[in-house]
Amino acid sequence: MFSWLQKNLPKVVLTPSFAVILWFIYGFILWTIYVSLTKSKMLPRYDFWGFKQYIRLWSNMRWYTAVENLLIFTILFVLICILIGILLSILLDQKIRAEGFLRTVYLYPMALSFIVTGTAWKWVLNPTLGIQKLFRDWGFSEFTFDWLVNRDMSIYTIVIAAVWQSSGFVMALFLAGLRSIDDEIIKAAKIDGASLSSIYVTIILPMMRPVFMSSIVILLHISIKSYDLVIALTAGGPGTSSDMPAVFMTQMAFHRSEIGLASSSAVMMFLTVLAIIVPYLYSELRRQDASR
């Protein structure tokens, strides 16, 4: 008995953690998937109801708004973050004196919570006393900025705040990538007479492919999960105009007593993440095996 324990001690020690992971992640996900296939309202019911919740979900106008918003948000968020990240990282890579300070400034929003970010931006974007007032005081008397209370524009305010929070992070990823490139390559290209901008476009950026990949995956992941920022900035409003899937899910789960419907929306989110993460992890692991 004792020798068995001694031999298997590592496995015995690992078991509680592993059991927790199995139960709290995989067990729970299976539960959610199952409940999404039942008629559960306020309390879970376990009689099978087929895919009716998914039909209800996809014929729900509010869900459509949420998905549409997610698409708009994701495209802009990912694109702008990457553009800013590349620009700042290349500029910072030009042997700048104040680099350490600037890097700290660009990245600090990442340390704040989305609730803090949302609260701050809610004030900055305030339609009466915020940016609008600032520009009018500066002499642009016609300047109007009411996106926060404008149904058609509210989703873009979330993009503004989210880019502010996360773009510095992309800068850090790209800067780390640029630093890992051998200086000799750049020197050789310069001797061949290539200009600095063409060196970046034709040689360096293509070498950044893995950084592009991981930045995009992380940003996609952030955007699918975005919940806090929406709640703090617009609370999904005005009306439901800036709703997102994560907000929809918690609304249905905790305020509308629609457990089945909430679960089906959670499963949709889960599948979306799966579709992004699995190929990514697969290619990452293969790359590592290849380099080993």
Query: What is the full DSSP assignment across 100-152?
Result: HHHHHHHHGGGGS-HHHHHHHHHHHT-TTTSHHHHHHHTT-TT----GGG-TT
Q: Name the one range near other proteins by CB under 8 A: 26-34, 56-64, 66-74, 180-188.
A: 26-34
| Contact between residue 277 and residue 220 where contact means Cβ atoms under 8 Å apart | no
Please state, in angstroms and rounded to a whole number, the distance separating the CA atoms of residues 196 and 192: 11
Work out how close the CB of 228 gets to other proteins at its nearest, in angstroms, rounded to a whole number.
4
Minimum CB separation of residue 75 from other proteins in Å reads: 19
The candidate with the shortest Cα–Cα distance to 36, out of 22, 23, 48, is 48
Shortest Cβ distance from residue 32 to other proteins (Å)?
Answer: 5
Specify the residue, 44 or 72, whose C-beta has the smaller distance to other proteins.
Answer: 44
* CB of residue 216 to other proteins, shortest distance in Å: 11
In 3-state terms, the chain is what percent helix, strand and coil (to 5)? Answer: 75, 0, 25
- Per-residue contact track with other proteins, 65 to 84, x per CB under 8 A? -------------------x
Segment 233 to 272, residues that bind other proteins, using CB under 8 A: 235, 245-246, 249-250, 253-254, 259, 262-263, 265-267, 269-270
By CB under 8 A, name the one of 86, 173, 189, 261 that touches other proteins.
173
Q: Output the smallest distance, CB 147 to other proteins, in A.
A: 16
10 or 193: CB nearest other proteins? 10
Distance of closest approach, residue 54 Cβ to other proteins, in angstroms: 15
Region 121-160 residues binding other proteins, contact defined as CB under 8 A: 121-124, 126, 129-131, 133-134, 137
Q: Does 85 bind other proteins (CB under 8 A)?
A: no
Judged by CB under 8 A, which stretch of 17-25, 68-76, 143-151, 179-187 contacts other proteins? 17-25
User: Is residue 55 within the footprint of other proteins (CB under 8 A)?
Assistant: no
**Which CB sits closer to other proteins, 37 or 259?**
259
Q: How far apart (Å, rounded) are the C-alpha atoms in residues 86 and 196?
A: 15
Q: Are 29 and 23 in contact (CB under 8 A)?
A: no
Reduced to 3 states (helix: H, G, I; strand: E, B; else coil), residue 205 is: helix
Of residues 174 through 233, those in contact with other proteins by CB under 8 A are: 176, 214, 218, 221, 224-225, 227-228, 231-232
258 secondary structure, DSSP code = -
Q: Which is nearer to other proteins, 147 or 152 (CB)?
A: 147
Give me the least distance between CB of 218 and other proteins, in Å please: 5
> Would you say 6 or 59 has its CB closer to other proteins?
6
292 part of the interface to other proteins, by CB under 8 A: no
> What is the distance between the alpha carbons of residues 209 and 65, in angstroms, rounded to a whole number?
33
Q: Does 46 bind other proteins (CB under 8 A)?
A: no
Asked if 111 touches other proteins (CB under 8 A), the answer is yes
Residue 204: DSSP 8-state: I
Alpha-carbon gap, residue 244 to 77, rounded angstroms: 14
What are the DSSP calls for 22-91, one per residue?
IIIIIIHHHHHHHHTTB--SSS---SB-TTHHHHHHHT-HHHHHHHHHHHHHHHHHHHHHHHHHHHHHHH
